[in-house]
Amino acid sequence: MSTAAAGAVGRLAGRLAEIVGERNVLADPAELSTYECDGLTGYRVRPALVVLPATTEEVAAVVQAARAAGAPIVPRGAGTGLSGGALPVEGSVVVALSRMKRILEVDLENGWMRVEPGVINLDVSKAIGGRGFYYAPDPSSQSVCTIGGNVAENSGGAHCLKYGFTVHHVRGARVVLADGSVVDLGGPVLDAPGYDLLGVVVGSEGLLGIVTEVVLRILRRPEATRTFFATFPSTDEAGAAVSAIIASGIVPAAIEMMDRLAIAAAKAATGLDWPDVGAALLMDADGPASEVELTSENAIELARKAGAIEIRRPRDEAERQLMWKGRKSAFAAVGRISPNYFVQDGVIPRSEIARVLREIDDLAAKAGLRVANVFHAGDGNLHPLVLYDEAIPGQEKAAEELGGDILRLCVRYGGSITGEHGVGSDKAPYMAVMFSPDDLETMGLVRCAFDPELALNPGKVFPTPRLCGDRPGPFRPHPEEAAGKIWRE
């Protein structure tokens, strides 16, 4: 860093300290290193500063100060994202929302609560669980990830097959925009007149604003949950079972698939006595007891017909939790069978699961690598884990290329390059595989409306930065309004 640049950073740090207090501005290289990356640890960039505001007003003032200093702004939640969405850029100010973790309001009768972005996902359900309510989106990282990050990424989870994603469970948000102004989008009451900007902000990966309050939709817990675990000779039969279950009209709360390698990894990590088989399904049915008894038994019957080897039903809640622990630990467990791995997040039409998995196998064989598959089968959201050893020259690069080939394969089958992890910096280059230049330009126009100078979270989502050009002329009011013939309240 040049002396002049260091001076500018020092002045900005001073200004930020006036806003949030000195202890909430981090400038020390050792402290900054924590913020060099998120859950995607392969890319690292040290930000110029990290600031930890505690209120909407502080966030707004921080944004204004950073903009005045010409520093790009990178919002950050818990940093658990897997797509490099919170990756800093050179000279940036990371705005970390971890101090904003209050639950502000709970309204059970009307089914909503207002929380700050730093509240941990699971803590939302914990706060209302005693009264029989919960917050539905359940990303696997839910014990550490925060609501603000969930909003930025439109996080899913195993149970979004039935319940939808974060966007279906957010009713309103207070947002600090790129110019430091504050707007409220939506709220506890449904259908506020106007464009659904809230729906655009959710999943915008920190490019459109910084969310400082969120109104969440909360649900009554379902009366009953039935779970079963089914093993299959291969992913072909397991895929056929998933298709048959969905085609029968059953909407499972979750239906997850693991292939041989993923099962082996989960066993190694948890000590579960799962057999060595080609594939396994884990399914939850939830809802009224009268319904789940029926749908669960029907689904088991369909799984058998599709070629299931063995069906296991948990004897009690503890055993059920253990089964889910096996599934949820599968990602990290892969670390036990491979020194390194990349996680992918492609989506395919659910009916193509078996074919796509075989194509992935072929691609892996050609690349001389192994791929473990553990994924949300009900909605076709694959999580291929590409295993490699960075100590072997060329293997990391080969793994990266294989990951890219898998994403292209998903798009070729009519799917998506990301189902829940977000595009971030990791998959930005693949956006052009999925979308045409006009598609991307149209999204870019929306970004320009929110942030004409592209100061918020640069380098994410869009493959090539595109300048916004001139701002369109000022809004021309209705001539009758201008003439005073009509008015607005």
For residues 141-180, which are near another protein according to CB under 8 A? Answer: 153-154, 156, 160, 164-165, 167-168, 177
Write the CB contacts of 106 (distance below 8 Å, at least 6 apart in sequence). Answer: 113, 127, 128
DSSP H/E element including 29: helix 29-32
Please report whether residue 189 would count as binding another protein according to CB under 8 A.
Answer: yes
Q: Judged by CB under 8 A, does residue 350 bind another protein?
A: yes
Q: Is 379 in the site for another protein (CB under 8 A)?
A: yes
- Contact region for another protein (CB under 8 A) — 335-343, 364-372, 385-393, 443-451? 443-451
109 binds another protein (CB under 8 A): yes
Q: Is residue 455 close enough to count as binding another protein by CB under 8 A?
A: no
- Looking at 10, 271, 275, 477, which residue binds another protein (CB under 8 A)? 477
Residue 386 vs 440, nearer CB to another protein: 440
SS3 74: strand
Closest CA to 330 of 378, 228, 262: 262
What is the 8-class DSSP label of residue 222? P
**In the window 357-376, what residues touch another protein (CB under 8 A)?**
376
Q: Is 415 in the site for another protein (CB under 8 A)?
A: yes
Q: If we measure between CA atoms, which residue out of 378, 342, 340, 371 comes closest to residue 357?
A: 371
Quote the Cα angle for 353-305-244, to 5°: 40
Hey, CA dihedral for 434, 94, 199, 342, is it positive or negative?
A: positive
Shortest Å distance, C-beta 440 to another protein: 7
Stretch that binds another protein, among 22-30, 33-41, 70-78, 244-252 (CB under 8 A): 244-252
187 lies in the binding site for another protein (CB under 8 A): yes
465 binds another protein (CB under 8 A): no
Residue 408 corresponds to which tokens in the numbers above?
């292209």
Q: Which of 5, 68, 104, 183 binds another protein (CB under 8 A)?
A: 183
Please report how the helices 353-367 and 395-412 are oriented relative to each other, as an axis angle in degrees rounded to 10.
150
> Does 132 participate in binding another protein (rule CB under 8 A)?
yes
Verify binding: residue 394, another protein, rule CB under 8 A. Answer: no
In the complex with another protein, which residue's Cβ is closer, 267 or 350? 350
467 sits near another protein (criterion: CB under 8 A): no
Residue 106 interacts with another protein (CB under 8 A)? no
User: Shortest gap between Cβ of 378 and another protein (angstroms)?
Assistant: 9
Rounded Cα gap, residues 363 and 346, in angstroms? 15
Contacting residue, 18, 31, 310, 441, with another protein by CB under 8 A: 441
Asked if 156 and 419 count as a contact pair (C-beta separation under 8 A), the reply is yes
Phi then psi dihedrals of residue 66, to 5 deg: -65, -40
Structure tokens at 41: 């640890």
x/- track of binding to another protein for residues 253-292 (CB under 8 A): ----------------------------------xxxxx-
264, 278 Cβ separation under 8 angstroms: no
Contact between 113 and another protein by CB under 8 A: the answer reads no
Reading the block at residue 247, the tokens are 């085609």
**Interaction with another protein in 214-233: which residues (CB under 8 A)?**
220-223
Minimum distance, C-beta of residue 27 to another protein, in the bound complex (Å): 33
Q: How far apart are CA 56 and CA 440, in angstroms?
A: 31
Beta carbon nearer to another protein, 223 or 319: 223
Under the binding rule (CB under 8 A), the answer on residue 481 touching another protein is: yes
What distance in Å separates the CA atoms of residue 226 and residue 409, rounded to the nearest whole number? 34
Site for another protein contains 107 (CB under 8 A): yes
The reply on whether position 489 binds another protein by CB under 8 A is: yes
Closer residue to another protein, CB minimum distance, 295 or 329: 295
CA distances from 152 to 197, 332, 471, 473 (A): 13, 23, 26, 30
6, 68, 247, 392: which one binds another protein (CB under 8 A): 247
Q: Which is nearer to another protein, 155 or 395 (CB)?
A: 155
Question: Residue from 17, 54, 272, 443 that binds another protein (CB under 8 A)?
Answer: 443
Cβ-contact 328, 256 below 8 angstroms: no
Structure tokens, 473 = 């002329």
* Range 320-349, binding another protein (CB under 8 A): 347-349
> Binding-site residue total for another protein (CB under 8 A)?
100
The least CB distance from residue 253 to another protein, in Å, is: 12
The distance of Cα 8 from the centroid of its chain, to the nearest Å, equals 34
Is the Cβ of residue 1 or residue 445 nearer to another protein in the bound state?
Answer: 445
Nearer CB in complex with another protein: 17/244: 244
Out of 3, 29, 316, 487, the residue judged to bind another protein by CB under 8 A: 487
**Residue 7 binds to another protein (criterion: CB under 8 A):** no
Instruction: Say whether residue 316 binds another protein (CB under 8 A).
Output: no
> How many whole angstroms separate alpha carbon 348 and alpha carbon 351?
8
- Helix residue spans in 306-436 (DSSP H): 317-328, 330-333, 353-367, 395-412, 431-434
DSSP 3-state of 311: strand
Q: Give the Cα separation of 328 and 157 in Å (integer).
A: 10
How far apart, in whole angstroms, are the C-alpha atoms of residue 52 and residue 58?
A: 9
Task: Give me the torsion for CA of 243, 249, 252, 257, rounded to 10°.
Answer: 0
